[in-house]
Amino acid sequence: MYKRFNTTGLCLPEKHYMADISRQLYTITNHVKEGAYFCINCARQYRKTTTLNALSHRLEPDYLVVSLDFQALGNASFQDENIFSLTFAEYFLRELQFKELPADIQKPLEPLKTAVRAKEDSFVLFHLFGCITSICKNMPRPVVLMIDEIDSASNNQVFLDFLAQLRYSYLEREKRNIPAFHSI
């Protein structure tokens, strides 16, 4: 197959010339195994998306990887905490549809599905993370959350509140053994 240089996004080894990222993947995989909360931060076109994609494939046998791309969320998704919480919940559930999950996991997903279907106007981050706690507790494998293109939301108070809640749930996991994402 003909290969080309790709400078517009995700690189695939079978289609594009690529730098060897196996050493970085090894290091990042160890961060995930340790349950780390971390960020991959570098300039545009430095293979962040490609790395996250390869990492997701590498982790799938042992973890339930939920990969979100905040480019998919428009500005309206960040209007307020309620809209963001519902949008995040819907996006999270949509990504879970592509996973092979046992039938008995559907029950912990119901509160999230109900909130999204009803477009509950009081569904806020506190409720969202309550649902996520239940989901993480009942999943057959540890859940890893990956968010790409997070910078598209970085100047937004709702997003900052979301990051604070992510960090809080991560710390509570360590402090009080409350189920949460294994790694973020």
What residues does 65 pair with on adjacent strands? 144
Whether 4 is covered by a domain: the verdict is: no
Phi, psi at residue 169, to the nearest 5°?
Answer: -65, -35
Provide the whole-model pTM.
0.87
Whether 5 is covered by a domain: the verdict is: no
**pLDDT at position 45:** 66
Tell me the residue range of the domain where 116 lies.
Answer: 22-176
Could you tell me how far CA 20 lies from the centroid of its own chain? 24
Whether 55 is covered by a domain: the verdict is: yes
Cα-only R_g, the chain: 17
Domain count within the chain:
1
Whether 8 is covered by a domain: the verdict is: no
Whether 89 is covered by a domain: the verdict is: yes
Residue 108 pLDDT > 80: yes
What residues does 68 pair with on adjacent strands? 147
Whether 13 is covered by a domain: the verdict is: no
Could you tell me how far CA 89 lies from the centroid of its own chain? 11
Task: Choose the weakest-confidence range: 43-52, 56-65, 151-160.
Answer: 43-52
Whether 10 is covered by a domain: the verdict is: no
Mean pLDDT of 90-107: 86
Task: Choose the weakest-confidence range: 116-125, 133-142, 151-160.
Answer: 151-160
Mean pLDDT of 8-17: 78
Q: Are 3 and 16 in contact (CB under 8 A)?
A: yes
Residue 128 pLDDT > 80: yes
Whether 113 is covered by a domain: the verdict is: yes
